[in-house]
Structure 1
Amino acid sequence: MSKKAKKKIDKANIWTLKRIKQLKRDDGLKMKSVTGYTMESVVESTASRNASRIALRVYGEEDSEITYGQLKAMKDAIGVFLLEHGFVRGDRIAVMGESCPTWLIAYFGITSVGCVAVPILPDFSTKEACQILEHSKAKGVVVNTKHFEKVLPFVQQHPSFLVRLEDLFHIPEPICKELTDKTQFSSAPGRDLTRRKLDKKAQQLRASSLANEDDLASLIYTSGTTGNSKGVMLTHKNLVWNADISTDVYVHLKPGDRVLSILPISHVYEFTTGQILELLCGCEIVYLGKAPAPSVLLPALKEVRPRIVMTVPLLIEKVYRASVLPVLRDNEHLKRWLKFPLTRRFIYRTIGRKLKVTFGGKLKFFGIGGAPLDREVEQFLATANFPYSIGYGLTETSPLIAGGLPNRHVVGTIGKIVEHVQVRLEDQDPTTGVGEILVKGPNVMLGYYDNPDLNAAAFTEDGFFRTGDLGHLDKQGRLSIKGRTKTMILGSGGENIYPELIEAVINNQSFVTESLVVPESGGLIALIKIDLDSFAQKMALNVNDAKIEATKYIAKIREDVNKELSAFSRLSSVELQEEPFQRTPTQKIKRFLYSRLKDDHSKEQHKP
């Protein structure tokens, strides 16, 4: 074959964005960067355009780079191995471990041939992990050494398919049966699933079992604020469409742009908006590889210089309270100039520019989702011209329902509804317009696995999913979130009280790091956590004396906060919360652990 003919064939195999946008569909959806809404198409489409580019690597680890071409080859090899070992469409394989290249490679290998991935959050306990494995009817487990002992009870009963996540080695059943701890697991011999060249027979086998758009891709067990873990069934189309529709709406990414991944990939927020979306754009995803402590995160930001970072509010709120607020609060010279709008804006923008440098200097999109952002922090980010954006969604909606463009949305709102997604508000308050957010669209899950009662309650008769969130739509179609139906408190006079709104007022008080408002004895109590180190330093006290003074200080906070609240929303009491609140993997406080409704006698009984 001549070079000219070979070049012509190569060009025909490249799925350019222009070529993809010319594809027609029967359902009215328009593809932007992928040839079909499947995980197979994600890798195939982007690899055809970016084969030699780096797709995945780990910060600080040499030789961890995986190119798009390698990603495709490894995905294919894993898929064939599964098929040759008896796995069929619909079989479930769990993946448990921290975010890393091999996690995503395993996921693509599993789902490309019609099997279902069951991502298990690393924070889950042994009991929770094994319950998920049993309930999902998992036929295999891909797990890293750190968490192996969490799945060991299940593996000992079902030793047929075990893969070590670090190197994607399959541990044979005879060896698997003998494993008793993670040390043995880490050194167990096995077979590399990814190193195989596919002959014609293997290629035909794989081609005969490729997943369809409406096939189940992920079965994700959530760990919610109410304490009930549910298996959310998400299709290939749910996830890939949600990523594809967002590729040119909120940020314009170019092939080679770097992304710093710091959230758990097993959560759909990071998976869809922090992985699939970026892969479709040809980006280089760099995994932090460790918990995002300042000592690790700051050097990584300096080296990676990411164009995009997806995070939860807690991270930027910590940065604001640790680095920004002390400057604004304690600098007497600055405080005088902060009183005037023009000079305040200049000061905020100066700090904002320094903050961008801290994040590497190339940041164009700082995505915030998973929980509400503190209003004071958001107001600062907006005034400082920091390129933040807020997204809203749930695991059940793959996740994105609404989002905003950096620096273009109104503080306190999320932004516009994603195209092709329908949102309506049910049982709207005639005065405020607030109602429960109902959603229908290509992003909405199939339902909760093996839970018909919950599915009946979760969907309306005309197919809208009940989010459980309370929201408001303004005249421009911007969505804002007002709270949760399950956390809403009914006042003694029948008033609707939204604890999240009260907490936002409390959190704006000096030295408050976070708070939680719960009902108690017909009133409202606020559990308030103070930054005791800063408080002690400011008051020139030792830590023990600072706790005593902090108790007096939060009583003053109660007085100040109550002045800003309506009569039925005022706090009847406050308590100092000394221990950090227990959180879900997306950093929401587990409210159910702090409920005072069952027993009002003892504070100690309600400490988790």
Structure 2
Amino acid sequence: MNSIPSFNSYIERSIIKNWHLDALTDYKGATLQYHDVARKIEKLHILFENSDVKKGDKIAVCGRNSSQWAVAFLAIITYGAIVVPIQNEFKPEQIHNIVNHSESKLLFVGDVVATQITPDEMPTLEGIIYLPDNSLVISRSEKLTYAREHLNAMFGHKYPKYFRPEHVKYHVDDPEELAMINYTSGTTGFSKGVMLPYRALWGNLDYLMDTVSPKIGKNCNILSTLPMAHMYGLMTEFIYNMAMGNHIFFLTRLPSPTLISEALAEIKPDIIFAVPLVVDKIVRKEVFPHIQTNRARLLMNMPVINKRIKEKVREFVLRKFGERPYEVVVGGAPLNKEIENFFISIGFPIAMGYGTTETAPLITFAHQDNYVAGSCGVAVKHMEVKVLSDDPENVAGELVCRGINVMKGYYKNQEATDAVIDEDGWFHTGDLATMDSDGHFFVRGRSKNMLLGPNGQNIYPEEIEDKLNSMAMVNESIVLQKDDKLVALVHPEMEESQDLGFSDEDLANIMEQNRKELNMQMPSFAQISRIQLHDTEFEKTAKKSIKRYLYQDVI
């Protein structure tokens, strides 16, 4: 591990090198340059130091994506404290539990979270800091209160002749040192604290710098839409781009497809990281209505002009994603087959990554030049990946991996750690996959989601849902099992249904037609017995995975 450099040295070098360049912008708001970020980090370091925060203490951050969230994260990790990012969508009780379980000393909160939490439910906290202006929501420490009241004076006393690049000196971390505890959303309803050492952050950063940077260059624009408290967004949209000296724009609001489309057109990012749900919504609402006309289909199927038409379509789709992204990276879940096939047919620059919180997050990746339909890529640098199957090309087995990206374990939960990391260091993902002869992996579904057919056949509900989600009036779906029969719970396209004046009976008839068409594509043991409508959107995790465990009793 001695060959692994300090992770914080990358942040330090980037800030010094890009001192007068734009760093962080709140969309439709203020911009911080790298020297502004450095100054704010230093002020928080002074606050920590004078409040008796020691290296290795835990500090939690909970709020919407923003430049202030980013500064707090950087200040904590470059000080040598352990950062505990908390998803701001979590319920107050979950936030209280995470703060208490992690033994956090301080908590940074955004404007919405500040009004929802109850400080008395977190008795060991010494202070709660308001992210927008770093004021104290509550202080149980005289030293913290004094340091905050006199922070500007302390900063001026330490740097009487301005704060300059040579003053930027950050904590020199050890590879095995704990950098972060990231609590999973836990689709089984139980959240675990993933202990990520600095080596795991460096392993991901090194891979991205090695494979992405040569393709997109420097001083790029990046739009941050993924939740920063989730490892996918934190690593790809924030940490990597901060280390590269790029300009990061934060939406600061709930990232609806309409808002994302507007921001993409204005910011024109050089690379996009997204979850399939967002890509799907943009394509279905902004692209398909324009190209799925009878005339467009006719032209695309005429060999003489097919190539020219597809080039035009590709340019049109690129404009919907900001005109100039080198590629659109999809992660967090598989891309819908209809959307994927469309992208491939027009030569759209699509890339795919796969990972987990426990690997900070990358396990496999495929850029556009190595993209294989249906695959989540090949093993990334620093990682070994394999499928536990005697015939991995044809028979799915559990995908396991080991390498420097893998966590140290779950905080204060050795039993859960031992259940996923075996004695040889292999991390068991819980995902079922196959692998082709070229090393491309194909995730079939979660092992805990897999259903058994009447004769013991393996049924992967995600594969059925993928087909169903492309059918008429289907917004999203879950396939569940009841009394040995498969039932599809469907949330329909409510807005479109209302616009077309469909009655409940009309929707039921459309779903029955969908069921018949779907069953024609499925083997006999994976046939859907009925489709049940669900009025509201399904509750989801931060990476937009449906919380299946909430719906088993609905059917």
TM-score, L = length of structure 1: 0.84
- Which residue of 248, 254, 264 corresponds with 2:217? 254
In 2, Cα distance between the equivalents of 1:191 and 1:586? 41
Aligned to 2:10: 42
Structure 1 residues 200 and 307, CA gap change in structure 2 (3 angstroms): closer
Determine if the alignment matches structure 1 residue 353 to structure 2 residue 315: yes
- Which residue of 96, 100, 106 corresponds with 1:134? 100
Determine if the alignment matches structure 1 residue 296 to structure 2 residue 259: yes
Asked if structure 2 preserves the Cα contact closer than 8 Å seen for 1:97 and 1:121, the reply is yes
Matched residue SS, 1:138: coil
Aligned to 1:103: 69
Aligned to 2:365: 403
Q: Which amino acid aligns with 2:295?
A: H
In 1, Cα distance between the equivalents of 2:471 and 2:70? 42
Moved more, 424-433 or 311-320: 424-433
Asked if structure 1 preserves the Cα contact closer than 8 Å seen for 2:78 and 2:170, the reply is no
Aligned to 2:422: 460
Moved more, 112-121 or 401-410: 401-410
Aligned to 2:377: 415
Determine if the alignment matches structure 1 residue 123 to structure 2 residue 82: no
- Which residue of 353, 377, 398 corresponds with 1:436? 398
Aligned to 1:425: 387
Aligned to 2:201: 239
- Give the deviation of 1:270 after TM superposition: 0.6
- Counting only pairs closer than 5 Å after superposition, residues 330-341 of structure 1 correspond to structure 2 as 331-339=293-301
Matched residue SS, 1:52: coil
Aligned to 1:559: 516
- Which residue of 41, 46, 54 corresponds with 1:80? 46
In 2, Cα distance between the equivalents of 1:55 and 1:144? 20
In 1, Cα distance between the equivalents of 2:440 and 2:156? 51
In 2, Cα distance between the equivalents of 1:534 and 1:429? 45
- Give the deviation of 1:229 after TM superposition: 0.8
In 2, Cα distance between the equivalents of 1:346 and 1:206? 53
Aligned to 2:184: 222
Q: Which amino acid aligns with 1:298?
A: S
1:236-283 deviation line (CA, Å, top 9, x unaligned): 221132122211314523332100111111111011111111122211
Aligned to 1:15: none
Q: Which amino acid aligns with 1:306?
A: P
Matched residue SS, 2:155: coil
Q: Which amino acid aligns with 2:24?
A: L
Aligned to 2:130: 164
- Give the deviation of 1:520 after TM superposition: 0.8
Asked if structure 2 preserves the Cα contact closer than 8 Å seen for 1:78 and 1:193, the reply is no
1:429-480 deviation line (CA, Å, top 9, x unaligned): 6782311011101110011111111111111121100000111111111111
- Which residue of 93, 113, 123 corresponds with 2:59? 93
Amino-acid identity (%): 29
- Give the deviation of 1:325 after TM superposition: 2.9
Asked if structure 2 preserves the Cα contact closer than 8 Å seen for 1:391 and 1:400, the reply is yes
Determine if the alignment matches structure 1 residue 146 to structure 2 residue 103: no
Aligned to 1:310: 273
Structure 1 residues 145 and 451, CA gap change in structure 2 (3 angstroms): same
Asked if structure 1 preserves the Cα contact closer than 8 Å seen for 2:180 and 2:195, the reply is yes
1:354-389 deviation line (CA, Å, top 9, x unaligned): 121232222112121111210111111222222221
Determine if the alignment matches structure 1 residue 377 to structure 2 residue 339: yes
- Give the deviation of 1:295 after TM superposition: 4.5
- Tell me, which stretches of 5 or more residues in structure 1 are unaligned? 1-24, 30-35, 177-188, 597-602
In 1, Cα distance between the equivalents of 2:154 and 2:475? 49
In 2, Cα distance between the equivalents of 1:297 and 1:191? 40
In 1, Cα distance between the equivalents of 2:257 and 2:507? 26
- Give the deviation of 1:324 after TM superposition: 2.7
Aligned to 2:530: 573
Structure 1 residues 513 and 490, CA gap change in structure 2 (3 angstroms): same
Report how many aligned residue pairs link the two structures: 546
- Give the deviation of 1:589 after TM superposition: 0.4
- Give the deviation of 1:587 after TM superposition: 0.7
In 1, Cα distance between the equivalents of 2:485 and 2:532? 14
Structure 1 residues 341 and 230, CA gap change in structure 2 (3 angstroms): farther
Q: Which amino acid aligns with 2:81?
A: C
- Which residue of 433, 445, 448 corresponds with 1:483? 445
- Tell me, which stretches of 5 or more residues in structure 2 are unaligned? 143-147
Matched residue SS, 1:587: coil
Q: Which amino acid aligns with 1:128?
A: Q
Matched residue SS, 2:24: strand
Asked if structure 1 preserves the Cα contact closer than 8 Å seen for 2:100 and 2:122, the reply is no
Aligned to 1:592: 549
Asked if structure 1 preserves the Cα contact closer than 8 Å seen for 2:221 and 2:246, the reply is yes
Asked if structure 2 preserves the Cα contact closer than 8 Å seen for 1:421 and 1:440, the reply is yes
Matched residue SS, 1:214: coil
In 2, Cα distance between the equivalents of 1:521 and 1:193? 67
1:7-64 deviation line (CA, Å, top 9, x unaligned): xxxxxxxxxxxxxxxxxx844x6xxxxxx342x3132121232111111111211xx2
Determine if the alignment matches structure 1 residue 281 to structure 2 residue 244: yes
- Give the deviation of 1:162 after TM superposition: 2.0
Structure 1 residues 426 and 70, CA gap change in structure 2 (3 angstroms): same
Asked if structure 1 preserves the Cα contact closer than 8 Å seen for 2:375 and 2:441, the reply is yes
TM-score, L = length of structure 2: 0.91
Structure 1 residues 571 and 71, CA gap change in structure 2 (3 angstroms): same
Matched residue SS, 2:115: helix
1:284-305 deviation line (CA, Å, top 9, x unaligned): 0111222223553333222211
Q: Which amino acid aligns with 1:51?
A: W
Asked if structure 1 preserves the Cα contact closer than 8 Å seen for 2:25 and 2:31, the reply is yes
Moved more, 422-431 or 244-253: 422-431
Structure 1 residues 514 and 320, CA gap change in structure 2 (3 angstroms): same
Matched residue SS, 1:286: strand
Structure 1 residues 592 and 303, CA gap change in structure 2 (3 angstroms): same
Aligned to 2:501: 542
In 2, Cα distance between the equivalents of 1:193 and 1:486? 53
Q: Which amino acid aligns with 1:72?
A: A
1:522-554 deviation line (CA, Å, top 9, x unaligned): 1111112222443455xxx524x2x21111111
